[in-house]
């Protein structure tokens, strides 16, 4: 529908949903929202924007002052949600948030950053570069930057920059979110089978990305990482700009130096070297940064402006985020899959001199039987792996399926790792983490859930020692 005046968000407290709500509020829509509960920093962002919200599902509150012209429904919202049921029964128009992004944030020049990993950091960094270059982009990404900047905005420029997520759009649309973003420019970071709950075979996962590539017009711009074998295969029939550490990459990164305070490296393009300084942790961020450098350069932004923006990009919360740093360092990362955990732990092994202790909780897609093979050797760079009591999953009435629990996950990892502990008591787990830790050790919390305050308690206990 065109120009709805009042928009209500069911499930507004998600990072992406709240960001899109704020962006529509910036465009002048009257925005309201509901969710099961509200917590900082999302609740703070909504309050600062002046967006009214309430806890629980109350159709009568949703229609106060008149029914909404449009309802945006979060992906986690059940088909039996009272507000959603009310909306369907009364014929109120509703959309998923990717559809809302597609209709209200996408501009004529649409940059989509996509891939199995790296897409959130890349889309946020691209947005930062475009803003630094005064291009006034509209943008959206599904994470929070460490400086607290909004995760979505509607601005007046001709560019939009959006994170292209391959997960399903909604309960009624199982297609990938990125199908709604009309890319004219595509940054493809990596494609490795993930989300086995949605893509039961590797082929089905790759097919989604093939379709995404086909959406880019022939005169569009595609930038792809050739270090991941699947990417050049996907792009074999298209002209594209390559990047990576590979000697044949058009934009090649080299000479990486990692320290606990960040990284430096060189990008080589057409024989010229550009020295890059970044406060981000992790050698893999050299890859993310190089991809963004290549895309920005291809879009006409000067190397000097790009490099200056990279220096001031603070990185994402829950992406190798330091929560505590002293003799022992505590890291928080959203690595909720075996592949993501492998990458994070490999980087920590190269940055820190002591023991690496991983506390890991997978997302729902990596608690299925199909995902078990991916755990082989995924934690080889951790000295110790700790599995907490896993978040209890609600069985979706639309898609009932059994998922394995913590002790079964621990047993799976133990098949290829010698020291794995399943601790279902949060207190016992924290005690285990802080006991007899030495200088240079790093404790990494890996997972998409919040660990029920265990990170904060671990930091508190370490600070007292």
User: Which pLDDT score is estimated for 101?
Assistant: 94
User: Which pLDDT score is estimated for 399?
Assistant: 59
At which residue do the structure tokens 């090649």 appear? Answer: 252
Q: In whole angstroms, give the CA distance from residue 369 to residue 394.
A: 18
Query: Is a pLDDT exceeding 60 seen at residue 400?
Result: no
Token pair, residue 155, equals 């601005």
pLDDT band for 302, please (50, 70, 90 cuts).
Answer: very high
pLDDT digits (tens, 9 = 90+) for 189-245: 999 888 877 888 889 999 999 999 999 999 999 999 999 889 999 999 999 999 999
pLDDT digits (tens, 9 = 90+) for 24-67: 999 999 999 999 988 877 888 899 889 999 999 999 999 999 99
Cα-Cα end-to-end distance for the chain: 59
Token pair, residue 297, equals 């350069």
Give me the mean pLDDT over the 108-122 stretch.
95
What residues contact residue 181 under an 8 Å CB cut-off, 6+ apart? 98, 101, 102, 106, 110, 112, 160, 162, 164
- DSSP of 120-148: HHHHHHHHHHHHHTT---EEE-SS-BTT-
**Which residue, 130, 134, 188, is CA-closest to 160?**
130
Query: Is a pLDDT exceeding 90 seen at residue 120?
Result: yes
- What is the rounded average pLDDT for all residues in the chain? 92
Three-state DSSP class for 294?
helix
User: Which pLDDT score is estimated for 43?
Assistant: 86
Query: CA angle at residue 37 from 36 to 43, to 5 degrees?
Result: 135
User: Which pLDDT score is estimated for 395?
Assistant: 61
Domains in the chain, start-ordered, CATH in brackets? 6-96 (3.40.50.720), 105-312 (3.40.1190.10), 321-464 (3.90.190.20)
Beta-carbon neighbour count of residue 393 at 10 Å?
Answer: 12
pLDDT digits (tens, 9 = 90+) for 148-189: 888 999 999 999 999 999 888 888 888 889 999 999 999 999
Give me the mean pLDDT over the 445-452 stretch.
88
User: Which pLDDT score is estimated for 148?
Assistant: 82
The DSSP bridge pattern shows strands 262-269 and 272-278 to be antiparallel
Q: In whole angstroms, give the CA distance from residue 414 to residue 9.
A: 43
Give me the mean pLDDT over the 344-350 stretch.
93
Q: In whole angstroms, give the CA distance from residue 331 to residue 98.
A: 31
Angle between helix 119-132 and 303-312 (nearest 10)? 120
Least confident interval from 214-223, 370-379, 399-408:
399-408
Token pair, residue 184, equals 């004219």
User: Which pLDDT score is estimated for 397?
Assistant: 60
Counting residues of the chain whose pLDDT is more than 90, the rounded percentage is 74
CB 191 within 8 A of CB 118: no
Query: Is a pLDDT exceeding 70 seen at residue 323?
Result: yes
Q: In whole angstroms, give the CA distance from residue 161 to residue 121.
A: 12
- DSSP of 146-205: TT---SEE--SSSEEEEEE--SBS-SS--SBGGGGS--SEEEE-------TTT--SHHHH
Least confident interval from 33-37, 360-364, 434-438:
434-438
What residues contact residue 360 under an 8 Å CB cut-off, 6+ apart? 335, 341, 379, 385, 386, 387, 413, 446, 447
Query: Is a pLDDT exceeding 60 seen at residue 1?
Result: no
Give me the mean pLDDT over the 371-396 stretch.
88
The DSSP bridge pattern shows strands 356-361 and 384-388 to be parallel
pLDDT digits (tens, 9 = 90+) for 71-80: 999 988 999 9
User: Which pLDDT score is estimated for 125?
Assistant: 98
């Amino acid at each position: 529908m065109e120009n709805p005046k009042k928009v209500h968000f069911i499930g507004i407290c998600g990072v992406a949903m709240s960001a899109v709500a704020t962006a529509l509020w910036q465009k002048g829509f009257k925005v309201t929202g509901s969710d099961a509960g509200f917590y900082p920093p999302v609740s703070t962002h909504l309050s600062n924007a002046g967006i009214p919200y309430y806890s629980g599902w109350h159709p009568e509150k949703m229609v106060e002052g008149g029914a909404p012209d449009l309802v945006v429904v979060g992906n986690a919202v059940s088909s039996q949600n009272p507000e959603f049921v009310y909306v369907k029964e009364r014929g109120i128009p509703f959309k998923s948030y990717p559809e809302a992004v597609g209709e209200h944030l996408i501009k004529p020049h649409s940059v989509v950053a996509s891939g199995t990993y790296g897409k959130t950091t890349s889309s946020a960094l691209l947005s930062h570069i475009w803003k630094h270059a005064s291009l006034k982009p509209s943008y959206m990404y599904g994470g929070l930057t460490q400086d607290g900047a909004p995760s979505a905005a509607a601005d007046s420029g001709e560019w939009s920059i959006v994170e292209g997520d391959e997960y399903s759009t909604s309960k009624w649309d199982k297609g990938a979110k990125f199908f709604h973003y009309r890319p004219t420019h595509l940054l493809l970071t990596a494609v490795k089978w993930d989300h086995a709950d949605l893509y039961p075979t590797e082929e089905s996962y790759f097919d989604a990305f093939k379709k995404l590539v086909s959406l880019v017009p022939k005169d569009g711009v595609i930038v792809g990482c050739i270090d991941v074998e699947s990417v050049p295969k996907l792009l074999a029939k298209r002209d594209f700009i390559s990047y990576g550490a590979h000697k044949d990459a058009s934009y090649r990164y080299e000479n990486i130096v990692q320290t606990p305070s960040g990284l430096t490296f060189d990008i080589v393009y057409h024989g010229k070297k550009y020295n890059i300084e970044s406060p981000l942790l992790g050698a893999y961020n050299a890859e993310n940064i190089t991809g963004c450098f290549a895309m920005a350069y291809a879009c006409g932004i000067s190397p000097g402006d790009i490099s200056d923006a990279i220096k001031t990009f603070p990185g994402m919360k829950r992406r190798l985020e330091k929560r505590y740093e002293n003799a022992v360092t505590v890291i928080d990362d959203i690595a909720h899959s075996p592949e993501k955990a492998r990458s994070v732990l490999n980087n920590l092994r190269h940055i820190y001199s002591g023991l690496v202790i991983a506390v890991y909780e997978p997302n729902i897609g990596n608690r299925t039987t199909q995902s078990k093979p991916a755990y082989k050797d995924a934690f080889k760079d951790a000295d110790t792996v700790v599995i907490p009591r896993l978040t209890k999953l609600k069985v979706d009435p639309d898609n009932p399926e059994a998922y394995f629990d913590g002790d079964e996950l621990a047993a799976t990892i133990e098949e290829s790792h010698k020291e794995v502990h399943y601790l279902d008591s949060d207190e016992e787990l924290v005690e285990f983490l802080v006991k007899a830790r030495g200088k240079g050790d790093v404790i990494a919390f890996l997972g998409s859930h919040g660990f029920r305050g265990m990170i904060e308690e671990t930091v508190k206990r370490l600070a007292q020692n």
